[in-house]
Amino acid sequence: MSGSTIVLIATVALVGLGALFVFTTSARRDRAAALDRARHEGTDGDVASGPTGRAVERSAEAGRQAGAGLAVPATSAPPALRAPMDPEALGVTRRQFLNRSIVNFFGLGLAGFGAASIGFLWPTLSGGFGSKIKAGKLDDIVSEINATKVPFYLASARTWISTYPAAAIPKAEQAYSGAVLEGMKEGVVALYQKCVHLGCRVPWCKSAQWFECPCHGSRYNRVGEKKGGPAPRGLDRFGVEVKGGFILVDTKEVIQGPPIGVNTTGQEAEGPHCA
């Protein structure tokens, strides 16, 4: 099950629970209010048929002044039975129904907006930039690069996959680590297409066999090490894993390019520059 499906299901469940909560809370509140109202009306009924508190107080005061005991007027009628609650009061009035509908629709709208925002911001968990992307068969990609003398461009990963010479591995071990070094040991490096100077997309210059940025002239060799221009370091890159003969480019993390001066392959320009 993909991440976006999980988010969708979780959101629907949350919205359902929220609506249920709002509905039951308002129903409980209405019922309590109706009971209060009925109780209040019942008390009034008693008052109407029996002596009031004020009458009792007046009678007591009169008795004190006359030196007699407390004279409480006898009740003329037995206590009135509490009036049965009005079933209408316990039900849902039109106003309550409208209020609840407005609250529920507002809640649903808010939840929908929240779900859409989460879906937009959630990192793509399968196949897109920000995940591990399958580039293709290692052997096929290396053969294609060697045949065309052009690095393999993987648009979904915004990456140039370039070959890394086995002879340079001892030097690479001094400058690189982790998944970048592991990829180099497999014979490839995945370079982020974005220039580390000001972010232009860096194209391949076939004549020089370097990456050369058209914006301000930064140059990088075949494995993305800086050779010239204003760039502050080599091209940023991604970790590479080879699984079952397939290259996986891990675009979850952009790994910073090597500092100026790192030149593990010693590859010089092989022809005229493009920028």
For ligand FES, the binding residues (CB under 6 A) are 195, 197-200, 213, 215-218, 229-231
Q: Which is nearer to ligand FES, 100 or 158 (CB)?
A: 158
Q: Which is nearer to ligand FES, 213 or 247 (CB)?
A: 213
Question: Mapping DSSP to helix (H, G, I), strand (E, B) and coil, where does residue 132 land?
Answer: strand
The number of C-alpha atoms within 13 Å of 17 and in the hemisphere containing its C-beta is 6
**In the bound complex, what is the minimum distance in angstroms from residue 160's beta carbon to ligand FES?**
14
Cα separation, 251 vs 17, whole angstroms: 36
DSSP conformation class of 244 = T
Give the residue from 83, 82, 62 showing the smallest Cα distance to 72: 62
Q: Which is nearer to ligand FES, 158 or 197 (CB)?
A: 197
Q: Which is nearer to ligand FES, 40 or 201 (CB)?
A: 201
**Residues shown for the chain:** 275
For tokens 């860096």, the residue is 202
Q: Which is nearer to ligand FES, 141 or 196 (CB)?
A: 196
**In the bound complex, what is the minimum distance in angstroms from residue 120's beta carbon to ligand FES?**
28
**In the bound complex, what is the minimum distance in angstroms from residue 196's beta carbon to ligand FES?**
8
**In the bound complex, what is the minimum distance in angstroms from residue 267's beta carbon to ligand FES?**
19
Tokens of 56: 């009792």
C-alpha pair distances (Å), 238 with each of 28, 104, 178, 190: 57, 46, 10, 6
**In the bound complex, what is the minimum distance in angstroms from residue 201's beta carbon to ligand FES?**
9
Q: Which is nearer to ligand FES, 239 or 258 (CB)?
A: 258
**In the bound complex, what is the minimum distance in angstroms from residue 220's beta carbon to ligand FES?**
10
For tokens 């109780």, the residue is 39
Residue 192 near residue 254, CB atoms below 8 Å: yes
Residue type, 258: P
Residues in Cβ contact with 77 at an 8 Å cutoff, skipping those fewer than 6 apart:
49, 50
